[in-house]
Amino acid sequence: MRPIEEPVLCKILRRAVDLVYPKMELVGLENLPREACVIVGNHSQAHGAIVSEERLPFDHFTWCASQMMDKKEVSDYAFQDFWSDKPRSIQWLFWIVSRLIKYPAVYIMTHARTIPVYHDSRCLTTFRRSMEKLEDGYHLVIFPECRQEYNNILYEFQDRFIDLAWMYYKRTGKRLQFVPMYLAPKLKKIFFGQPISFDPEAPKASERQRIKQALMDAITDIACAQPLHTVIPYRNISPKHYPKNLPCEVHQVEKTHG
């Protein structure tokens, strides 16, 4: 495994975050395969990025939106993705913040253990770099939620990251495994579920759907099995609207009749 070189400033910033961000208990680490795998979790707003950088005790790289590494795009992207759901009366404040974070955000994301995710013709770069890291023995961490609601725990997952499994199988002859991860900041815990193994014999479309659904189901089941707690959702909505980890069928009934 190749060593990761990190600038001194990044080490200082990492240490500062480590001091102020609460420790997290890791539950189910024994479920992680020894060889490279893909760990898939709920984003939990900014917690996903912080946890990935500061609280995972194994060698890994994290998928990161390419806009966060581009000075021309980072401010608009950050405002839209992080703060567009804030009340209109205070959105101007977060617009200013999105401009102030431009240079530090690009610096941090560029020098962190990240892989830029592109959604245009450069997407091959994302997959190429991901394959390099997997072949070097690193785990990949991916937070694939989009803005489409799914249940009280998750937003719908995007599924194209699952195509890594076909590339990995062609190169190595090994079946890539996907590990569900549930971040529960309110419990100060990170949960790892049983890995889901790729089937190279299955049709691509059905295998994408199977793995995506299995991951969403596993993360939901882990969350609902825990003591009652507040779930920090993907979208940065008002805290008063944060859901609880009630079983999904109960949650849906409450939404219908509430």
Q: What does the block give as tokens for 183?
A: 């971040």
Residue 2: how many CB atoms within 10 A of its CB?
10
**Cα dist. 100→76, 110, 186, 203 in Å?**
12, 17, 28, 47
Q: 39 in a domain, yes or no?
A: yes
Q: 107 in a domain, yes or no?
A: no
Positive or negative CA dihedral for 83, 182, 115, 5?
Answer: positive
Q: What does the block give as tokens for 215?
A: 């991951």
**Distance in angstroms (rounded) separating the CA atoms of residues 39 and 8:** 28
Positive or negative CA dihedral for 178, 184, 190, 192?
Answer: negative
Single out the residue of 217, 102, 202 nearest to residue 151, CA to CA. 217
* pLDDT for position 176: 98
Residues 6+ apart with CB under 8 A from 195: 31, 32, 33, 37, 177, 178, 179
pTM for the model stands at 0.89
Residue 158: how many CB atoms within 10 A of its CB?
16
Low-confidence ranges of the chain (pLDDT < 50): 250-258
* pLDDT for position 4: 62
* pLDDT for position 251: 47
* pLDDT for position 81: 83
Which tens digits make up the pLDDT trace of 196-212?
999 999 999 999 999 99
Q: 98 in a domain, yes or no?
A: no
Q: 79 in a domain, yes or no?
A: no
Residues 6+ apart with CB under 8 A from 196: 177, 178, 179, 180, 211, 214, 215, 218
Are the C-beta atoms of 220 and 153 separated by less than 8 Å? yes
Q: 102 in a domain, yes or no?
A: no
Residue with tokens 């009280």, as numbered in its chain: 152
Domain range spanning residue 62?
13-66+116-257
Q: 153 in a domain, yes or no?
A: yes
How many Å separate Cα 206 from the centre of its chain?
23
* pLDDT for position 241: 92
Helices 91-100 and 102-111: angle between axes, nearest 10 degrees? 60
Partners of residue 62 on adjacent β-strands: 114, 141
Which tens digits make up the pLDDT trace of 114-125?
999 998 888 999
* pLDDT for position 253: 41
> What are the two backbone dihedrals, phi and then psi, of residue 244, each rounded to the nearest 5 degrees?
-105, 165
Are the C-beta atoms of 185 and 47 separated by less than 8 Å? yes
Domains in the chain, number: 1
**Distance in angstroms (rounded) separating the CA atoms of residues 26 and 231:** 17
